[in-house]
Amino acid sequence: MLFFSRSKIFMILGFVFLGLLLAVPNGLNESTRDKMPGAFQRTINLGLDLQGGAHMLLEVDLSSILSQALINERTAINDSFRRADERPRTEFVRADGDDSILVRLRSKEDADKALPLIQELSQPVDPTQINSAKTTRVERESDRNIRVTITKAQIDFIREQTIDKSIGVLGRRIDPNGNLELTLAPEGSERILLQVPGAVNTQEIKKKINESANLSFHLVNEKDSTNDQAMMVAMETGRVAAGDKYFPFSEANGRGGGLIVNERTRITGDCLKNSSGGPHPENNGAVVNFEFNVACAREFGQMTARNINKRFAVILDGNIITAPNIRSAITGGRGYIEGGFTMESARDLSLLLNAGALPAKLTIVEERTVDPSLGADSIRAGRIASMIGLLGVAIFMWMGYGIRFGTIANMALATNIILIAAALSLFGSTLTLPGIAGIILTIGMAVDANVLIFERIREETYNGKTPINAIETGYKLSMAPILDANITTLIAAVTLYFVGSGPVRGFAVTLAIGIVMSVFTAVVFARLLTSTWLRGKRPKTLPI
Amino acid sequence: MKDISLVRILPQEPRVPFINMRMIAAALSVLGIIASIFLFTTKGLNYGIDFTGGTVIEINTKGDPDDAAIRAALLDMGFEGATVQGIQPPVGAVDQDGVPITHRLMRIGLQLQDETGEAGQGAQQEALNQVVAGLQERIGAFYVRNTEVVGSQVSGELRRKGILSVALALIMVLGYIWLRFEWQFGLGAVMALAHDVILTIGVFSLTQIEFNLTIIAAILTIVGYSLNDTVIVYDRIRENLRKFKKKPLPEVLNIAINDTLSRTILTSLTTLLALVALYVLGGSALKGFSFAMIWGVFVGTYSSIFVASPLLLALRLKRGVNTGGERKD
């Protein structure tokens, strides 16, 4: 146990030296740090509870995603029937339950014709995979009934896409310039974690999360919209002709009431290539200028060409912001929206539109904000507590095992702290307040391995062994208990990491790193120190 | 070289008859467990918002806050059941402008708002905004240092995860010790750990210190620490079973506990040193955590001596191949 080959010594010292180099940047100021080579510029990442900032957990509204998927499926079924050479006659196609559509046909023959058409719609969820699950499950329930169920694989796929898209949109909305160092990541299967370092006022952020920015252009049903009777019914009961929908005017528009519009449209927020706020060309208000992509520009051109002297409604999040008259075909794909904007609200809206629409509603299910001054307090308190803990333990070890072995234990302890700092910097793990607690706890527990070894050496010396023999046996016999004890603690730490969340994870990380490093420093590094001392001094008795 | 070892005060070969005290210890432990369960079922735990859901706001007022006025203002706004608690700022705390804080900070807790229906989705946020705006109006300007809002769904999940993590850790540890020792050791260690966890929950029920996520972390750390202790003693028992083949089992156990005694005491003391520093200086956020850990060090040390080892006798440990034969590693 006490013999170290030269290469091994180099490796151990090299490892410790590397740790020292990696830990050093944490103690330097920023300008000095910038001069260091890349890997050595890394410092410990402070968690939000230490640097201050806002932490939010957003939940994606799954039910709205599902109902949208059902609507799309229904539309697809109807379209495919309409396009078929021998068109099956349907009684109805409607959503039935949370995740399925019931198609009832007039006769068994119609159902026979419909079945292959519907089955054809069921595509692999992920076409790049050979055995990918299908998007829907088609069952013939009876002679005339066909049930189409959206598969779990498809729901999962849509959910993942929704979360991915939401993350993209949120990033562009909250941090359009990309300098806030946001954290935006999926958390579990239905949530998004959002962290904004340094942010204290969360009102702005919440506003950006709550706006969905769903924009669409619809043709107005002029016949019904100008018919007082139809409008009355629509306003009071929401009942309108099939394929139409009633929308109210937005508050900013200043006009009361609403319009009945054609529900189907292909001109949506996804069509926007770009938008910007600007002054109104005719009065002193403001407008939002927009530019469509090529496909939508063509579509919009055709739509306007066919409907001159009718109105189209621009609908944002369920409200009509404007409904201008079509004077001539708009073919360039450019235009502007007026709707009682101020310069500021026009600019805000264009920013939102450029960021894209959120595919689903997001609910804030958890929010934590910490003021930077509070974070600074925690760091200071943690630093003082660890200093005192460190000093206390060091004095204790000197008193317990004398100058020689006490120094070895304390050098191991100091190395341990340095290596923890190095590992945290290297892996870019986040140090949280509970993480600091983990380090302080490690300070107390780290000497355990050394205590075990020294006790054993002391015992062997007492039993009459020579110094070298006592130390050799001491290290050898301590190995099993040290490993057993630390592996079990490591198991607890790993469990904590996988089951825990947020700051608790930070604690688990520092605890786990601390355990691994303390075993290394005690059984490898301290052993090297002991062996070096033994070879140099060749003592007759042990000062332990 | 001059030697001033403190631990030398402890005899090199202590022979404290720990095993003989096992009946007293058992009575004490059973009593403690019964008391803990009784407290837990009658008094319950003072769950933090991590587990109940709700809102906590920490504010820094100009000058020492007026508890009664804040309470009255909250009632006036219709927040019944809101809690108001003054807390000492941590050592060296400064406010947003860098001025030292010399008065108490105020922590306001709101109960979980009704989340049912369409309007309920933003109910917690709404309450937070109302309280901050309403209080500013009624008691004058203050600075918000910290807010935490947890919805009902998240809190339910955190509760489940908390219980799951402790249970999972115990099972994994049982598996590991089973693998390394005889089954009696595995079962004995886990029973000792369950003992520690129950007593810790009992203390939290007794003192009504807030029970939140960090306390779950503390309990898991106690599990790790206590296990550390137990495994060290068990390892020595295994070794001594080979060494003293003729001695009766209780005596072998006692020798093992005594052999590791000075290590047990030393490590407990160094850990306590660090934890007390944390408790005194760590500020309110870490008070509960360090309290739990300090308690855990005591209980964990006690249980590895007085619970885990005697349990081996109760579980009828036999000198089988694994314990008496050659070590496998």
User: For chain A, what are the domain ranges?
Assistant: 6-51+371-537, 62-151, 211-366
pLDDT at B205 over 90: yes
Which CATH number is A62-151 given?
3.30.70
The fold of A211-366 is: Gyrase A; domain 2 (3.30.1360)
What proportion of chain A, given as a percentage, has pLDDT over 90? 5
Which CATH number is B54-150 given?
3.30.70.3220
Please judge whether A488 and B239 are an interchain contact, meaning their C-beta atoms are less than 8 angstroms apart. no
Please judge whether B289 and A502 are an interchain contact, meaning their C-beta atoms are less than 8 angstroms apart. no
What proportion of chain B, given as a percentage, has pLDDT over 70? 90
Of B222, B219, B216, B220, give the one whose Cα is nearest residue B158: B216
Dihedral sign, CA of B47, B50, B54, B58? positive
Question: Which of B12, B150, B220 has its CB closest to that of A495?
Answer: B220
CA–CA dist A249, A487 (Å, integer): 66
**Any idea what DSSP says for residue A186?**
E
pLDDT digits (tens, 9 = 90+) for A155-167: 888 888 889 888 9
pTM of the full structure: 0.74
First to last CA, chain B: 37
CA–CA dist A513, A490 (Å, integer): 9
Interface size between A and B, measured as CB pairs under 8 A: 265
pLDDT digits (tens, 9 = 90+) for A365-385: 888 888 888 888 888 888 888
User: B172-179 long-range contacts, Cβ below 8 Å, gap at least 24?
Assistant: B172/A491, B172/A495, B173/A488, B173/A491, B173/A492, B173/B223, B173/B227, B176/A487, B176/A488, B176/A491, B177/A488, B177/B231, B177/B234
Q: How confident is the model at residue A419 (pLDDT cuts 50, 70, 90)?
A: very high
Question: Which of B235, B281, B293 has its CB closest to that of A441?
Answer: B293
Q: Are strands A430-431 and A45-46 parallel, antiparallel or unpaired?
A: parallel
Question: Which of B146, B153, B216 has its CB closest to that of A369?
Answer: B146
**Tell me, what's the pLDDT at B9?**
54
Q: Which residues of B touch A198 (CB under 8 A)?
A: none
Please judge whether A371 and B125 are an interchain contact, meaning their C-beta atoms are less than 8 angstroms apart. no
Please compute the mean of the pLDDT values over residues B233-244 and round it to a whole number.
Answer: 88
Question: Which of A384, A500, A543 has its CB closest to that of B165?
Answer: A500
Strand (E) or helix (H) holding A156? helix A152-174
Q: Which residues of B touch A49 (CB under 8 A)?
A: 285
**Tell me, what's the pLDDT at B107?**
86
Q: Which residues of A touch B1 (CB under 8 A)?
A: 402-404, 543
Q: Which residues of B touch A448 (CB under 8 A)?
A: 228, 263, 267, 270-271
Question: Which of A200, A206, A440 has its CB closest to that of B274?
Answer: A440
- Give the total residue count for chain A: 544
Our CA-based measurement puts residue B275 at a distance from the nearest CA of chain A, in whole angstroms, of: 7
Our CA-based measurement puts residue A456 at a distance from the nearest CA of chain B, in whole angstroms, of: 9
Specify the 3-state DSSP secondary structure of A311.
strand
Pair of tokens at residue A312: 């189209």
Dihedral sign, CA of B189, B194, B199, B203? positive
What letter represents residue A77's amino acid?
I
Q: Which residues of B touch A441 (CB under 8 A)?
A: 221, 271, 274-275, 278, 293
In chain B, the residue whose alpha carbon lies closest to the alpha carbon of A502 is B213
Architecture of domain A6-51+371-537: Up-down Bundle (1.20)
pLDDT at A126 over 90: no
Our CA-based measurement puts residue B254 at a distance from the nearest CA of chain A, in whole angstroms, of: 17
Radius of gyration of chain B measured on its C-alpha atoms: 25
pLDDT digits (tens, 9 = 90+) for B10-23: 566 677 788 888 88
CA–CA dist B146, A227 (Å, integer): 56
Pair of tokens at residue A120: 């054809």
Please judge whether B286 and A433 are an interchain contact, meaning their C-beta atoms are less than 8 angstroms apart. yes
Question: Which of A370, A373, A385 has its CB closest to that of B95?
Answer: A373
Please judge whether A477 and B239 are an interchain contact, meaning their C-beta atoms are less than 8 angstroms apart. yes
Of A254, A264, A257, give the one whose Cα is nearest residue A230: A257
Please compute the mean of the pLDDT values over residues A192-208 and round it to a whole number.
Answer: 83
Q: How confident is the model at residue B83 (pLDDT cuts 50, 70, 90)?
A: confident
What letter represents residue A444's amino acid?
G
What letter represents residue A316's amino acid?
L
What would the DSSP string read from start to end of B53-109? -EEEEEEEESSS--HHHHHHHHHHTT-TT-EEEEEPPPTT-B-TTSPBP-S-EEEEE
Specify the 3-state DSSP secondary structure of A266.
coil
Q: What angle do CA A501, A503, A507 make, to 5 degrees?
A: 100
Please judge whether B269 and A396 are an interchain contact, meaning their C-beta atoms are less than 8 angstroms apart. yes
**Tell me, what's the pLDDT at B207?**
93
**Tell me, what's the pLDDT at B3?**
47
Average per-residue pLDDT in chain B? 83
Our CA-based measurement puts residue A17 at a distance from the nearest CA of chain B, in whole angstroms, of: 27
The fold of B14-47+155-324 is: Multidrug efflux transporter AcrB transmembrane fold (1.20.1640)
Return the minimum-mean-pLDDT range out of A161-165, A425-429, B52-56, B228-232. Answer: A425-429
Backbone angles phi, psi at B51, to 5 degrees: -105, -25
Q: Are strands B83-87 and B105-110 parallel, antiparallel or unpaired?
A: antiparallel
> Which residues, in sequence order, are CB contacts of B71 under 8 Å at separation 6+?
B82, B84
Say if CB B214 and CB B288 are below 8 A apart: yes
Q: How confident is the model at residue B1 (pLDDT cuts 50, 70, 90)?
A: very low
Question: Which of A380, A434, A451 has its CB closest to that of B217?
Answer: A434
Q: Which residues of A touch B229 (CB under 8 A)?
A: 485
What letter represents residue A202's amino acid?
T
Please compute the mean of the pLDDT values over residues A213-241 and round it to a whole number.
Answer: 82
pLDDT at A64 over 70: yes
In chain B, the residue whose alpha carbon lies closest to the alpha carbon of A203 is B129
Say if CB A234 and CB A91 are below 8 A apart: no
pLDDT at B39 over 90: yes
**Tell me, what's the pLDDT at B32?**
95
pLDDT at B5 over 70: no
In chain B, the residue whose alpha carbon lies closest to the alpha carbon of A395 is B270
**Tell me, what's the pLDDT at A324?**
86
Number of CB atoms found within 10 A of residue A64's CB: 13
**Any idea what DSSP says for residue A249?**
B
**Tell me, what's the pLDDT at B321?**
46
Of B8, B26, B24, give the one whose Cα is nearest residue B311: B26
Question: Which of A365, A392, A500 has its CB closest to that of B217?
Answer: A500
Please judge whether A488 and B285 are an interchain contact, meaning their C-beta atoms are less than 8 angstroms apart. no
pLDDT at B299 over 90: yes
Please compute the mean of the pLDDT values over residues A413-439 and round it to a whole number.
Answer: 86
CA–CA dist A493, A18 (Å, integer): 26
CA–CA dist B92, B96 (Å, integer): 13
Specify the 3-state DSSP secondary structure of B245.
coil
* A539-to-A459, A531, A544 alpha-carbon distances in Å: 17, 12, 12
Q: How confident is the model at residue A410 (pLDDT cuts 50, 70, 90)?
A: very high
* Furthest-apart CA atoms within chain A: distance in Å: 111
pLDDT digits (tens, 9 = 90+) for B251-281: 889 989 988 888 888 888 888 888 888 888 7
**Tell me, what's the pLDDT at B38?**
95
Q: What angle do CA A324, A329, A332 make, to 5 degrees?
A: 100
Pair of tokens at residue A84: 């078929």
**Tell me, what's the pLDDT at A502?**
67
Average per-residue pLDDT in chain A? 84
Q: How confident is the model at residue B329 (pLDDT cuts 50, 70, 90)?
A: very low
Residue reference for tokens 């300098």: A179
Site from B10, B105, B273 to mutate, A interface, most A CB atoms within 10 angstroms:
B273
Pair of tokens at residue A148: 């189409």
Please judge whether B282 and A382 are an interchain contact, meaning their C-beta atoms are less than 8 angstroms apart. yes
Our CA-based measurement puts residue B128 at a distance from the nearest CA of chain A, in whole angstroms, of: 11
In chain B, the residue whose alpha carbon lies closest to the alpha carbon of A374 is B145
Say if CB A413 and CB A488 are below 8 A apart: no
- Domains of chain B: which residue ranges? 14-47+155-324, 54-150
Please judge whether A484 and B231 are an interchain contact, meaning their C-beta atoms are less than 8 angstroms apart. yes
CA–CA dist A350, B22 (Å, integer): 76
Q: What is the separation of C-alpha B26 from the centre of its chain, rounded to a whole number of angstroms?
A: 22
First to last CA, chain A: 19
Q: What is the separation of C-alpha A55 from the centre of its chain, rounded to a whole number of angstroms?
A: 11
Say if CB A259 and CB A253 are below 8 A apart: no
pLDDT digits (tens, 9 = 90+) for A1-39: 677 888 888 888 999 998 888 888 877 777 777 777 766
**Tell me, what's the pLDDT at B326?**
42
